[in-house]
Structure 1
Amino acid sequence: MTGRNVYILLTDTGTLFTRLIKLYTKKPYNHASISFDSMLTEVYSFGRKVEWNPFIGGFVKEDIRKGLFKQADCAIYSLKVNEEQLQKMNDYIEELKTQREEYRYNLFGLLGFLFNKPIQRSKAFFCSQFVATLLKECNVLDIEKSPALIAPNDLQKMPKCQFVYEGKLRKYHNETEQVSVCLIPVKM
């Protein structure tokens, strides 16, 4: 398949909220985001709108260089998409951006996840539900399970996901930034 890669970013920021989730899941990463470039400059998810309050959440463009992500551990996976899928994904994100204030974090959905009962609310997602819905709705992956029952660790096991990196997020970003600087053509 020709096309471009999109990236699934799984993180552990070490906050109290993620530590509580980790107690239940027993998995190393409890937040999922999606990026449209290997430098992770365009990273989208459903998460905190206010860094210090995990209960004020919704659709967010995340800056992995700041805040909770500065010390985060991560795993990064890539997925090859064709131009049509990429366009659908971009359109989906643009629609979310224009209606950003109408979207909420699906805290009830997280409770449903705990009891294996999908709770889908209009214009509300939790992080991995958002990523799974985006991939499903844009025909990138055929996901049989309800997106409301997808955990971040389920995303890394999806068919077509290719492992890219695991470790400190800031280290990945620094290494990627150095590689991209080296690839800039020099005029003589």
Structure 2
Amino acid sequence: MDSKYIYLIFTRTGTWLSQAIGAFSETKYVHASVSFDSSFRKMYSFGRTNPNNPFSGGLVEESLYGGVYRKFRRSECLIYRVPVTEEQYNSLKREVEIFLTEKHKYRYNFLGLFGVLLNKPFKRQNYYFCSQFVSEILIRSSIYDSNKIPELIRAEDLLKVKNKEMMYEGFINDYYRFDCLYSLS
């Protein structure tokens, strides 16, 4: 039986929000996304729906090669591959598909970020920030277990996902060259 994998992508773009979160949390990677394939052309998270407008946030289908990552060329990333069972993989796919079918109703949870800083959950229906979304769908799919509720989970907390394998850390612009070399070895 072939192994199934999901990918957790942690980034820091240099946007004002990324810089602010990094300053308050004292962590390098402040944004979390999930992907089902190693091309990273489809990653799912909550973030900017328009790379040019920092106040337009919601459920996003990101690409490591476009959008905010193209706009902020010095973005850095940390990529993990996580082996999962077929049941976990299919469950996670369903969770993402449920969100995507009603994408228009979801918004970015800016207020929830303050709740994380104060360690006070601020749950609003249909509002998420990146690590809240990623943790919630991973928890529902039995891939991640935490003693925190998703409204208090930071991107750095997701580094505790078990059985992960680091694939890459560095500048996103350098990833393509690395990936080509990695594929040849």
Output the TM-score relative to the length of structure 1.
0.89
1:99 corresponding residue in structure 2 = 102
For 2:137 and 2:176, locate their aligned partners in 1 and report how far apart those are by CA, in whole Å: 24
Query: Equivalent pairs: percent with the same residue?
Result: 38
8 Å CA contact 1:76–1:164 kept in 2: the answer is yes
Q: Deviations over 1:43-90 (max 9, x none)?
A: 110000111222211111002112321321011112111111111111
Tell me which residue corresponds to 1:25. Answer: 25
How far 1:178 moved relative to its partner?
6.3
Question: 1:64-79 counterparts in 2 under 5 A?
Answer: 64-70=64-70, 71=73, 72-79=75-82
Q: Select 1:124's aligned residue among 117, 123, 127.
A: 127
- 2:49 aligns with 49
Partner amino acid, structure 2, of 1:111: F
User: 1:57, 1:178 → 2: CA distance?
Assistant: 35
Residue aligning to 1:12? 12
After superposition, the C-alpha distances for 1:158-185 in whole angstroms (9 at most, x for unaligned) are 32222221001122234325666x69xx
Give the unaligned 5+ runs of structure 1. Answer: 184-188
TM-score (norm 2): 0.90
Bigger radius of gyration? 1
2:154 to 151, 155, 172: 151
Gap runs ≥5 in structure 2: none
Alignment length (residue pairs): 182
In terms of mean alpha carbon deviation, does 66-75 or 42-51 score higher? 66-75
Q: What is the SS of the residue equivalent to 2:115?
A: helix
Q: 4+ residue stretches of structure 1 with deviation over 6 A?
A: none
Q: CA RMSD in A?
A: 1.9
Which of these residues, 141, 151, 170, is aligned with residue 173 of structure 2?
Answer: 170
1:90 aligns with 2:118: no
Of the three residues 110, 113, 136, the one matched with 1:133 is 136
